[in-house]
């Protein structure tokens, strides 16, 4: 049944399957989990696990809903509080809505040290929140006593610090430690030595670390290596050792190295043994001592509760004194006693513990849910064994602060108020925030903002996203449900956020933020009205644009993103930090044109070729044809020109389209069959005709040497599933662009085979055609060859023949396709997959599964809800700091990889200064201003530059228009002209932004910061 579930709704889980893989997904679909405690962190964990798609989740909680729960528990409503509903029972219906394939059950009994725990035996994983430490130890002991052992996790958020503990038993097997795709690396040399050295081809980085296991294939000469496994010792980034190779044959050439995923086994200690000797992850390298102190604080809170029956009261000095005494006592019992207890940090924990910072719940909800999925599947490396994280910087540290502002008032913001105080609560309520994007991160952000009461006062949240909701969005964009499919993301997300907190002032828009909306919707005036800007985007181009707008308008930008189990947070503050574009993103690998076209060596090369063929055959040719007939309504005249040898741009290509245009489904099938022969048989024969198998280069080296692979012509077999898939999907796509009707029965194998039996396939004839082998030649250079006159004349005759036989088809437009990766019924991915694998077969390259090909061809960014939740929580915490004007040393960028798990918090890069001359430096945030008048001339502007900035301006540019360059003809005459005549003002703006260069100390032009000139 689990397998059927996955097959039924691959569209729901597709992005997650790219991260976890089929094996993990199937294990999850047979797993059951119990989560105890439906407070802030418990509901976050439950939400993420349900979205992941496990078989069954039980939520257990004895508590009834309270008004303060509304500030951390996004599935509770005011009606639940009024009705005194149990938290688990009130939450369950919302969890069920998230994923119809997950069974959600509830329990309302309390867990105590006297509870009968036999009911836990039906769960593979138990997660505790809102539990005393004694109860945690009691349950942990039970989980270890059964066979097989139940995986145990506990997590809590107390005020501004959170914790997680994992115990996966005595022997836990990990089958994939990092989830990274094993890469193929081509080899150029292997030495025969006691420490056999392997060198990568073209000094390509192998990406290995010492201790990794690898295997080889296609090695010539030293064939004993093929299929064998070796443990490597890294020598440098492109060379490693595999041990003694002296007993092997001599290496000749070639070979491919592939990393082998080796199963690992790890062992865990019990909670009890870990209390006094903890193994703790350190996420913030600038606060290396903090995790150990937070462990003492965690134990102290539970000891305090055990002694007094409650946690310390908010900002109570007497309770704080008792708490510090307990902390000192517990420290003395630790195996590794701390020499220094940071009392300020301990006091912060004590004063805030009765509250709860909602975004910190999101962080731990993502982390703990991911650990639970590891426990169920063995995919990724689990946490060993504790992790603590604090957001103490959001707590006012001023000793003169009025502690009355932290006293609970009996409303939904009590949890927040205890942590940050009334002043900061009001600051957030009055914030104007602009968020771009309402996808996965955007949904999580809005949930966090609703819980924080952001823009619930005089402030306003503006969100925009021009996208519609798709089914594949539902398992990570948690504000959306199945009945929202094809509705706008922005308006739907806004409505869902208002259900969490009806007091939010939010405006949802559906505009794209780009240069086209810069002068209308998202002008400088719009940005000036915002206190902070948030990116919830999924592409670098849009991020760069938003960064530029924020730099221009001096606005703080909160940047974040995810890719599978990885995520990042970047805090960008005017005049304090570097901007997003201050650092260059890694450039995507670009394959040489000749490699993709004629000499593929990897599956990725084949995928790129298939993707190019889709664009050429079903998009570009149709667009070219439509444009041609629109600009050349008299085709007879064009045909006459071509016959006379007069070249018409696009005429040769259009003549071929017209000559080959099918008029029926049978002709589409025939055309597809001929394409098969051309792509996978004739192309191979042509290559071998030009470059025979024994051809050698001038230096005597065989032309077909690694990584070049000689092709083998593929003989069409109507009984081969892959061959028939190519024919039927290609026919399907041609029918789509030529607007030819067909039925589902037409796509069936037998129906197509019947048509194919009568198709005439032209035999191969060698062509006198140049094959490019130079890797430096681009596709544009290769295709920009002059069309021969005889080709032009042939095209004219071809066109005339169509005019005589089928005149009605000449002016009938085609239907260019729009590549859509998520609709399996359209045949797009089937074409890419079959074309890829047939080409791989032709070149003896290992074929790929459909999911992998779809991911690469569709440039799909893998995504899981756990990473999204964690990243959104981290960036929201930083947003609070920025709104409260925290200094640079309190801000944190973050890079995380939940697969490892790895979390690195670090201070943002400070803004870089550029020295214009001695004593004068500028940054990317600087913007100079000049106030003009209606009578201001260009000379007046130059004088002001000299007077205000101490420079002689050497050039003035507005956008792409050059306003002034002294050496250009006529420009000196402009000195007396009015600036209002020279500049092109933006409608509604009383200023323009100019790029001004100055005469530097060494006589060279120095580009200054942007100059804003006011008319």
Which CATH number does the domain housing residue 195 bear? 2.40.30.180
Give the number of domains in the chain. 4
Name the pairing type of β-strands 386-390 and 914-917: unpaired
The answer as to whether 78 is a domain residue is no
Range of the domain at 526: 430-600+869-908
Given the residues 438, 594, 668, 945, select the one marked as catalytic: 594
Considering the domain architecture, whether residues 802 and 655 belong to the same structural domain is answered as yes
pLDDT value at residue 141? 98
The answer as to whether 732 is a domain residue is yes
Q: What is the DSSP string of 648-660?
A: -TTHHHHHHHHHH
The answer as to whether 124 is a domain residue is no
Considering the domain architecture, whether residues 986 and 967 belong to the same structural domain is answered as yes
pLDDT value at residue 6? 40
Considering the domain architecture, whether residues 662 and 775 belong to the same structural domain is answered as yes
Considering the domain architecture, whether residues 486 and 592 belong to the same structural domain is answered as yes
Name the pairing type of β-strands 56-60 and 32-36: parallel
pLDDT value at residue 10? 61
**Each residue's pLDDT tens digit, 473-494:** 888 899 999 999 999 999 999 9
CB atoms closer than 10 angstroms to residue 833: 25
Alpha-carbon dihedral of residues 793, 797, 803, 804, nearest 10 degrees?
A: 160
Which CATH number does the domain housing residue 958 bear? 3.10.290.60
Q: How far is CA 888 from CA 450, 464, 556, 560, 885, in A?
A: 27, 29, 13, 18, 9
Alpha-carbon dihedral of residues 514, 519, 525, 528, nearest 10 degrees?
A: 20
The answer as to whether 208 is a domain residue is yes
d(CA 687, CA 421): 74
The answer as to whether 502 is a domain residue is yes
pLDDT value at residue 302? 98
The answer as to whether 267 is a domain residue is no
Considering the domain architecture, whether residues 582 and 500 belong to the same structural domain is answered as yes
pLDDT value at residue 788? 55
Considering the domain architecture, whether residues 834 and 769 belong to the same structural domain is answered as yes
The answer as to whether 486 is a domain residue is yes
Q: Where a domain ends, among 260, 295, 318?
A: 260
pLDDT value at residue 3? 42
pLDDT value at residue 791? 87
The answer as to whether 509 is a domain residue is yes
d(CA 916, CA 912): 13
Considering the domain architecture, whether residues 709 and 665 belong to the same structural domain is answered as yes
Q: Where a domain ends, among 889, 908, 927?
A: 908
Which CATH number does the domain housing residue 593 bear? 3.40.50.720
Considering the domain architecture, whether residues 746 and 888 belong to the same structural domain is answered as no
pLDDT value at residue 585? 65
Considering the domain architecture, whether residues 596 and 644 belong to the same structural domain is answered as no
List, edge to edge, every strand of the sheet that includes 557-563.
506-509, 460-464, 432-436, 532-535, 557-563, 566-572, 893-897, 902-906
Considering the domain architecture, whether residues 973 and 879 belong to the same structural domain is answered as no
Active site residue 668: no
Which CATH number does the domain housing residue 651 bear? 1.10.10.2660
Q: Where a domain ends, among 206, 232, 260?
A: 260
Considering the domain architecture, whether residues 670 and 710 belong to the same structural domain is answered as yes
Q: For the chain, which ranges sit under pLDDT 50?
A: 1-8, 786-787
Contact in structure between 922 and 1008 (CB atoms under 8 Å): yes
Contact in structure between 135 and 111 (CB atoms under 8 Å): yes
Contact in structure between 927 and 1010 (CB atoms under 8 Å): yes
Considering the domain architecture, whether residues 813 and 924 belong to the same structural domain is answered as no
């Amino acid at each position: 049944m689990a397998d059927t579930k996955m097959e039924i709704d691959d569209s729901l889980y597709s992005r997650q399957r790219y991260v976890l893989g089929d094996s993990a997904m199937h294990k999850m679909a047979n797993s059951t989990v119990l989560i105890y405690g439906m407070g802030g962190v418990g509901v976050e964990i439950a939400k993420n696990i349900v979205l992941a798609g496990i078989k069954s989740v039980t939520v257990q909680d004895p508590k009834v809903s309270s008004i303060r729960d509304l500030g951390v528990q996004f599935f509770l409503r005011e009606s639940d509080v009024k009705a005194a509903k149990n938290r688990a029972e009130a939450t369950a219906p919302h969890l069920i809505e998230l994923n119809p394939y997950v069974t959600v059950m509830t329990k309302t009994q309390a867990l105590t040290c006297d509870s009968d725990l036999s009911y836990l035996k039906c769960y593979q994983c138990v997660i505790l929140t809102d539990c005393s430490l004694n109860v945690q130890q009691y349950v942990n002991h039970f989980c270890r006593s059964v066979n097989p052992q139940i995986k145990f996790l506990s997590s809590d958020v107390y005020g501004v610090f959170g914790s997680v503990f994992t115990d996966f038993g005595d022997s836990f097997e990990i089958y994939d430690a990092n989830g990274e795709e094993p890469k193929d690396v081509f080899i150029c040399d292997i030495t025969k030595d006691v420490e056999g050295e392997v060198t990568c081809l073209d000094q390509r980085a192998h990406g290995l670390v010492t201790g990794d296991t690898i295997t080889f294939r296609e090695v010539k000469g030293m064939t004993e290596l093929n299929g064998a496994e070796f443990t490597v010792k890294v020598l440098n980034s492109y060379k490693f050792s595999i041990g003694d190779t002296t007993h092997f044959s001599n290496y000749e050439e070639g070979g491919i190295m592939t990393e082998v995923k080796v199963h690992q086994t790890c062992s865990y200690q019990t909670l009890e043994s870990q209390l006094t000797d903890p193994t703790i992850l350190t996420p913030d390298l600038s606060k290396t001592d903090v995790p150990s102190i937070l462990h003492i604080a965690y134990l102290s809170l539970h000891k305090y509760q055990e002694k007094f029956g409650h946690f310390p009261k908010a900002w109570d000095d007497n309770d704080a004194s008792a708490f510090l005494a307990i902390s000192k006592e517990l420290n003395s019992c630790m195996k590794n006693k701390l020499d220094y207890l940071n009392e300020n940090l301990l006091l912060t924990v004590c004063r805030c513990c009765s509250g709860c910072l909602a975004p910190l719940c999101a962080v731990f909800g993502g982390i703990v849910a991911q650990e639970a999925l590891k426990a169920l599947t063995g995919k990724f490396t689990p946490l060993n064994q504790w992790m603590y994280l604090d957001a103490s910087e959001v707590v006012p540290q001023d000793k003169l602060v009025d502690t009355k502002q932290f006293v609970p008032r009996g409303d939904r913001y009590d949890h927040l108020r205890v942590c940050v105080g009334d002043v900061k609560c009001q600051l957030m309520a009055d914030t104007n925030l602009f968020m771009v994007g309402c996808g996965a991160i955007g949904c999580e952000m809005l949930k966090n903002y609703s819980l924080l009461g952001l823009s619930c006062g005089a402030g306003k949240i503006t969100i925009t996203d021009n996208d519609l909701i798709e089914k594949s969005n539902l398992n990570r964009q948690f504000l959306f449900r199945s009945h929202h499919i094809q509705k706008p993301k922005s308006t739907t997300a806004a409505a869902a956020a208002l259900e969490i907190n009806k007091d939010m002032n939010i405006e949802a828009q559906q505009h794209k933020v780009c240069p086209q909306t810069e002068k209308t919707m998202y002008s400088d005036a719009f940005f000036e009205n915002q206190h902070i800007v948030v990116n919830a985007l999924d592409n670098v181009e849009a991020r760069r644009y938003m960064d530029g707008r924020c730099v221009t308008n001096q606005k703080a930008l909160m940047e974040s993103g995810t890719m599978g189990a990885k995520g990042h947070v970047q805090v960008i503050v005017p005049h304090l930090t570097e901007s997003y574009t201050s650092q260059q993103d890694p450039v995507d690998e670009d394959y040489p044109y000749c490699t993709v076209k004629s000499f593929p060596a990897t599956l990725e090369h084949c995928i790129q070729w298939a993707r190019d063929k889709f664009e050429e055959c079903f998009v570009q040719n149709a667009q070219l044809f439509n444009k041609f007939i629109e600009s050349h309504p008299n085709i007879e005249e064009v045909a006459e020109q071509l016959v006379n040898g007069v070249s018409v741009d696009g005429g040769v290509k259009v003549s071929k389209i017209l000559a080959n245009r099918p008029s029926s489904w049978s002709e589409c099938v025939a055309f597809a069959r001929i394409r098969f022969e051309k792509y996978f048989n004739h192309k191979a024969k042509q290559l071998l005709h030009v470059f025979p198998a024994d051809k050698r280069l001038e230096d005597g080296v065989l032309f077909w040497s690694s990584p070049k692979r000689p092709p083998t012509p593929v003989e069409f077999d109507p009984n081969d599933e892959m061959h028939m898939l190519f024919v039927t999907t290609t026919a399907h796509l041609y029918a789509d662009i030529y607007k030819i009707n067909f039925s589902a029965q037409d796509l069936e194998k037998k129906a197509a085979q019947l048509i194919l039996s009568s198709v005439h396939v032209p035999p191969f004839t060698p062509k006198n055609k140049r094959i490019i082998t130079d890797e430096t030649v681009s596709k544009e250079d290769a295709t920009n060859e002059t069309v021969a006159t005889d080709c032009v004349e042939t095209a004219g005759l071809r066109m005339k023949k169509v005019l005589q036989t089928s005149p009605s088809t000449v002016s009938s437009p085609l239907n260019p396709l729009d590549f859509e990766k998520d609709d399996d019924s359209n045949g797009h991915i089937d074409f890419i997959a079959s074309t890829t694998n047939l080409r791989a077969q032709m070149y003896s390259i290992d074929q790929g599964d459909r999911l992998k090909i779809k991911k690469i061809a569709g440039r799909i960014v893998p995504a899981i809800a756990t990473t999204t939740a964690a990243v959104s929580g981290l960036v929201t915490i930083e947003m609070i700091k920025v709104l409260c004007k925290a200094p640079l040393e309190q801000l944190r960028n973050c890079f995380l990889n939940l697969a490892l798990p790895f979390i690195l918090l670090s201070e943002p890069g400070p803004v870089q200064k550029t020295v214009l001359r001695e004593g004068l430096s500028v940054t990317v945030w600087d913007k100079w201003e000049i106030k003009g008048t209606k009578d201001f001339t260009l000379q007046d502007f130059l004088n002001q530059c000299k007077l205000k900035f101490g420079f002689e301006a050497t050039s003035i540019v507005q956008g792409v228009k050059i306003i002034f360059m002294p050496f250009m003809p006529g420009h000196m005459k402009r000195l007396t002209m009015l600036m209002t005549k020279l500049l092109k003002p933006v409608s509604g703006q009383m200023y323009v932004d100019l790029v001004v260069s100055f005469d530097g100390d060494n006589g060279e032009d120095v580009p200054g910061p942007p100059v804003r000139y006011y008319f």
